[in-house]
Structure 1
Amino acid sequence: MNIAFIETFLAVIETGNLNRAAERLHVTESTVTTRLDALEDLLGQDLLVRSRRGAQMTKAGYKFLVRAERISQAWRQAQTELSLPKGFQGLFSLGCGLDLWSGLGKTWILQAMRAAPDLAFETWAGDDSQLRRWVQSGLVDAVLMTEPAGGPGIKTVPFLEDRIVQVSTEPRKAVEWDPNYIYVEYGPEVRRQHDAIWSADRTAYMTISGAEWALDFLLERGGSAYLPRRMVERLIAEGRLFEVDGAPDFTRRVHLSYRDSCLAEFPALADMLTADRVQATSSA
């Protein structure tokens, strides 16, 4: 089976339509169509329902997705391992939540690099559903996410409780409602905490799904927002942001899930992947 067929199928799933997949792969849309047709012919199954609105997976497509990711990962790992510079003994892959890199994922990777200098590392950003699928399929070795990944052969340890605080571009005390408030969507755990304190009758003038985007928007437009403390510590110290006096904090749990085989495959990282070590390093 041509690996280009697999990569084309995955590109269509990730982008949502054939045109954007063609742009990503730097080929024509007709080439994308030809590759998909060839893949479906080889498998004897329709994998996608294609329309002008985009492409949706069929039942067979959903079944094939995990296998396609495994094939793609195996091919990529083979390419990487064959091209590893002299002195490197393997490749460790970490999937990280979109808002968990700053102060968490990056810190963990730097510690892991010091613990295992003979390993090469790679990181991939994704949402919880992507990260769960990636670690379960073997696409990555471990994931840092806000929910346990679960699944056969997957172990999960607590990483930390991420403290989320209200900050403002002007020093002030907590008020009933800020007309320049930016609502940041962190998922159900934080949403429940937020709704228990702030009136559901008020609607923020701007809602953003992602702390880094929200921080960028806040610094550009002004106002206030709930952001991870680790992400705004430097800006608070510099006087560019101010923690709102009297505003309640929220927390969200962060988990490190990894493939059970990692302990044997990467013994130098065994301590980094166990609960005691993770709790100690993440609380520092």
Structure 2
Amino acid sequence: MNLEQIHTFLDLCETRSFNRTASRLGVTQSTISGRVQALETALGCKLLERSRAGTELTTEGLRFEPHARAMRNGWTVATQAVKGAGNAAMAMRIGIQHDLLGDQVAQWVKAVQGAVPDTALYVEADYSAQMCADVRDGQLDLAIHYTPKPHPDLHFETLGEVGYVMVSTEGADLSDIRPESYILPNYAPAFSTTHAVLLPTLSMGAVSSGQNAVIRGLLLALGGSTYVLRETARDLERAGLARLVARAPRIEQPVYAAIHLRNRHRGAHRRILRALRAHLAGRSA
């Protein structure tokens, strides 16, 4: 039994297709079949049943799946632990939603460093789906994001909220906002749903984006109206580039943390989550 076989089995658990798994892993179907056969021989049981209808897990396969995930994650955690920490006691890899990081990366890093001062940190910006997958597979220790992607190996907690407000280069009141020049923000599914309920006539913008920096750039280049983070709105208003729109509702976007289920009670992770809640509360004050 080896990690290549484990990884192949777990990919088949997702695709339920030898053909799709072969394509995703860049090998032939016969290679996939050989890995599965070797794994089944090592375990002494049948893990998968193939038929014209597709591939299904046997009872033994269903029982083995969570153990296989734990084995893969354990190996990833072990390899991460021996890399790149220098003189620090441990290393942690943290992913943060693009909009949250922005130009405030130093504040986020300081918040985490205060919670785990003897830890070497790796911080990157990404999107919710990829970060959840990376936490699940052990590539990240923690993700701070907008949209949880439920999975048996993941644990999610709410950290707080960030506020988005409407700004405009054209009007000062909601009644002045023109749909034809509105830049539609799509920051997260929850945001888009709230936006559609509160502002149905402005939910069909000709131009849209899901990133605060891009939305800001479009607003300055094209003019019009849109939603940006409250901090961005303040900067635009101070610079005389846009105005806050009166009577436009503020939209709150929940922020979540994703950690691997096995880490949900670990001291370092709990300290980081407490520090991040305090950091978000300070941003909202």
State the shift of 1:164 in Å: 0.7
CA distance in 2, matches of 1:9, 1:104: 41
After superposition, residues 148-167 of structure 1 pair within 5 angstroms as: 154=155, 156=157, 158-167=158-167
The 5-angstrom pairing of residues 53-72 of structure 1 reads 70-72=70-72
Pairwise mapping of residues 195-234 of structure 1 onto structure 2 (< 5 A)? 195-200=196-201, 203-234=204-235
Which letter maps to 1:119? T
The answer as to whether partners of 2:128 and 2:147 remain within 8 angstroms in 1 is no
Give the fraction of aligned pairs with identical amino acids, expressed as a percent.
19
Distance in 1, matches of 2:167 and 2:198, equals 16
SS in 2 for 1:159: strand
Structure 2: stretches of 5+ with no match in the other structure:
41-45
Distance in 2, matches of 1:5 and 1:70, equals 14
Q: Which residue in 2 is equivalent to 1:251?
A: 252
1:168-207, aligned counterparts within 5 Å?
168=168, 170-173=169-172, 174=174, 175-200=176-201, 203-207=204-208
How many residues align structurally? 264
How far apart are 1:21 and its partner, in Å? 5.5
RMSD: 4.7
TM-score by length of 1: 0.65
Give the match for residue 274 of structure 2: 273
Largest Rg, 1 or 2: 2
Counterpart AA for 1:80: Q
> How far did residue 134 of structure 1 move?
5.6
Give the 3 Å change call, closer, same or farther, for CA 70–106 of structure 1 in structure 2: farther
The 1:222/1:95 distance shift into structure 2, 3 A limit, reads same
CA contact (8 A) 1:180 1:222 kept: yes
The alpha carbon displacement at 1:155 in A equals 6.6
Q: TM-score, normalised by structure 2?
A: 0.65
Q: Which amino acid aligns with 1:184?
A: P
Alignment CA distance shift 1:199-1:274 (3 Å): closer
Residue 81 of structure 2 is aligned to residue 81 of structure 1: yes
Give the Å deviation of 1:243: 3.0
Q: Which amino acid aligns with 1:172?
A: G
d(CA) in 2 for partners of 1:59, 1:8: 13
Asked if residue 40 in structure 1 is aligned to residue 36 in structure 2, the reply is: yes
| SS at 1:100 equivalent | helix
Q: Which runs of 5+ in 1 are unaligned?
A: 23-28, 50-55
